[in-house]
Amino acid sequence: MKTDFNDKITDALFNFYLEADNETIVDSLKERIENFDEYNRKKRQTIFLFKAKLQQKHNEHLLDVAKRFQEAVLLNIEKPIAILKLIIQQNPAFALYRNLDKLSKEDIVEIIKDKNLVQLLEQIEKDENED
């Protein structure tokens, strides 16, 4: 029963903060936090580190997809090559990439960087499992 009561209070506070304007939230935080400037500094630092980790993960996935595409081109695996050709055809800026076997990893990264990496990875893995 005590847990249920605490959950209701938590939910009410959560809903209050969702509905409140920024000024009310800042005033409430200033009342509860001793060193508000230190809190803001740590908050900005945490957000910065989170964004950096997120970008790092994105870059790792991008390099992984590029590596898989490069391997597929070298091994002449038909389906990943077809996916790469489709991406190139969809964007006229990549018209210079006609010789897929001469693509470097950087070229492949440039081609696929604006695509949904998770979807590309799943498509490549699906194609590899079918073969």
**pLDDT tens digits along 48-64:** 999 999 989 888 888 88
What range defines the domain where residue 79 resides?
51-130
Assigned domain for 92 exists: yes
Give the number of domains in the chain: 1
Name the pLDDT band for 30 (thresholds 50, 70, 90).
confident
Give the pLDDT score at 52. 93
Residue found by looking up tokens 């050709």 in the block: 85
Give the pLDDT score at 108. 73
Q: Is residue 103's pLDDT more than 70?
A: no
Assigned domain for 28 exists: no
pTM of the model: 0.51
Q: How many residues does the chain have?
A: 131
Assigned domain for 41 exists: no
> What letter would DSSP give residue 35?
-
Assigned domain for 80 exists: yes
Assigned domain for 27 exists: no
Assigned domain for 97 exists: yes
Assigned domain for 25 exists: no
